[in-house]
């Protein structure tokens, strides 16, 4: 009988075959590479609260031109857990030479002389995409404009995979009052569809998922459903048949438009009673996850302590999947 080959961390990294590459879009990864990252993350989970020295001597730079708690801190935690070092710019428009009108391309070229990998969040996806090739080190998109947030989608896909053991065949509703600007929704919808989930995109028709995102999904011969202009009743009817509700979040505008926008957001309010009824009637759990942060009144807080809650579970998974991504890019 042939002996089963034991997989090492190094062999798993080699199988992913992503060393030295940047991650700007979820489409930079093949389906096999995504599953490879999931399996590597699973192997690294035991080190979420300790340290495994796999990238000692490497430096990560985090450049965040927009506020962040979870993305920046989870990447920095992941790098520290792997034995690497971090240099961080959390307010570069004030404390870096960007305040002196240094171009983003020059900044990335300079920082790549210090760092082995750069994680950047930026308010302008066009500028970010144009500047990224100037870096001499791999660049990871930590959320760019209204375009994509691939690592948030990766961690939410991984959370779904850890919850069910699969993604194929699951019914997932991606819901937002504005799917134009929901960059995480764009990455997640593409990842879900590619890995075989049955996806419903719920939003006002005027704020539907951008055409280029829908075209990318369609170009792979995959179709997704869209549900427009729902009210809270019809939305909760829709999610009653789902395995997961995915809330990518969106920032309510300020000023006179804020209250009107929040009223539209209330149409996508997941009722605790809906989840409870499905659990009681069919012994089935509808999971709910949110990319966070959430605004007051955006969801029923009773979900926080219910079996349906996945958004806080995803926080722990975020460290493991980002550890896996860093290893896949830097090698071990």
For the chain, domain boundaries:
9-149+318-330, 150-315
pLDDT at residue 143 is higher than 70: yes
Give the mean model confidence (pLDDT) for residues 215-222.
91
Query: In the prediction, which pLDDT does 260 show?
Result: 77
Query: In the prediction, which pLDDT does 6 show?
Result: 81
74-83, 183-192, 219-228, 290-299, range with the lowest pLDDT: 290-299
Query: In the prediction, which pLDDT does 2 show?
Result: 54
* Of 278, 297, 294, 295, nearest in space to 286 by CA: 278
More confident residue, 4 or 72: 72
Residue 77 CA to residue 241 CA, distance in Å, equals: 37
Give the mean model confidence (pLDDT) for residues 37-48.
96
Cβ contacts of 93 within 8 Å, gap of 6 or more? 65, 99
Give the mean model confidence (pLDDT) for residues 163-168.
96
One fold for both 9-149+318-330 and 150-315? yes
11-20, 174-183, 249-258, 274-283, range with the lowest pLDDT: 249-258
Give the mean model confidence (pLDDT) for residues 165-178.
95
Give the mean model confidence (pLDDT) for residues 240-264.
80
Query: In the prediction, which pLDDT does 261 show?
Result: 76
Confidence of residue 189 (pLDDT cuts 50, 70, 90): very high
pLDDT at residue 1 is higher than 60: no
Query: In the prediction, which pLDDT does 252 show?
Result: 61
Give the mean model confidence (pLDDT) for residues 123-137.
97
Q: What percent of the chain has pLDDT over 90?
A: 84
Query: In the prediction, which pLDDT does 253 show?
Result: 63
Provide, for the chain, the percentages of residues in helix, strand and coil under a 3-state DSSP scheme, each rounded to the nearest 5.
50, 15, 35
Residue 201 φ/ψ, nearest 5 degrees: -100, 115
What is the distance between the terminal CA atoms of the chain, rounded to a whole angstrom?
32
Give the mean model confidence (pLDDT) for residues 50-78.
96
* Of 155, 164, 225, 162, nearest in space to 187 by CA: 155
CATH topology of domain 150-315: Rossmann fold (3.40.50)
109-113, 229-233, 257-261, 278-282, range with the lowest pLDDT: 257-261
> The dihedral of CA 82, 84, 85, 88: what is its sign?
negative
pLDDT at residue 250 is higher than 70: no
CATH topology of domain 9-149+318-330: Rossmann fold (3.40.50)
Query: In the prediction, which pLDDT does 174 show?
Result: 96
Q: Are 21 and 138 in contact (CB under 8 A)?
A: yes
pLDDT at residue 157 is higher than 80: yes
Structural element, H or E, at residue 4: none
Confidence of residue 310 (pLDDT cuts 50, 70, 90): very high
- The pTM of the full predicted model, rounded to 2 decimals, is 0.93
Encoding tokens for residue 207? 């704020």
Give the mean model confidence (pLDDT) for residues 115-121.
98
């Amino acid at each position: 009988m042939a002996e089963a080959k034991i997989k090492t961390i190094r062999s798993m990294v080699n199988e992913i075959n992503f060393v030295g590459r940047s991650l700007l879009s979820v489409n930079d990864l093949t389906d096999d590479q995504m599953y490879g990252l999931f399996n590597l993350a699973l192997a690294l989970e035991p080190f979420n609260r300790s340290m495994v020295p796999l990238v000692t001597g490497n430096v990560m730079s985090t450049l965040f031109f927009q506020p962040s708690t979870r993305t920046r801190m989870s990447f920095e935690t992941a790098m520290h857990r792997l034995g690497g070092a971090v240099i961080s710019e959390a307010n570069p428009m004030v404390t870096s030479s960007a305040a002196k009108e240094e171009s983003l391309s020059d900044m990335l070229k300079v920082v790549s002389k210090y760092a082995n990998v750069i994680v950047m969040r930026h308010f302008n996806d066009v500028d970010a995409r144009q500047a990224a090739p100037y870096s001499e080190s791999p660049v990871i998109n930590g959320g760019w404009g209204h375009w994509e947030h691939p690592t948030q989608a990766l961690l939410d896909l991984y959370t779904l995979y850890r919850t069910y053991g699969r993604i194929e065949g699951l019914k997932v509703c991606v819901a937002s009052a504005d799917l134009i600007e929901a960059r995480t929704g764009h990455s997640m919808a593409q990842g879900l569809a590619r890995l075989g989930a049955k996806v419903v995109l719920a939003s006002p028709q005027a704020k539907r998922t951008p055409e280029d995102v829908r075209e990318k999904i369609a170009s792979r011969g995959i179709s997704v459903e869209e549900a427009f202009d729902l009210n809270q009743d019809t939305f909760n009817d829709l999610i009653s048949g789902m395995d997961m509700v995915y809330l990518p979040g969106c920032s309510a505008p300020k000023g006179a438009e804020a209250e009107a926008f929040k009223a539209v957001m209330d149409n996508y309010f997941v009722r605790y009673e809906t989840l409870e009824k499905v659990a009681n009637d069919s012994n089935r759990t509808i999971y709910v996850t949110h990319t966070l942060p959430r605004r007051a009144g955006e969801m029923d807080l009773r979900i926080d302590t219910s079996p349906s809650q996945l958004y806080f579970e995803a926080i722990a998974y975020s460290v493991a999947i980002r550890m896996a991504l860093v290893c896949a890019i830097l090698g071990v």
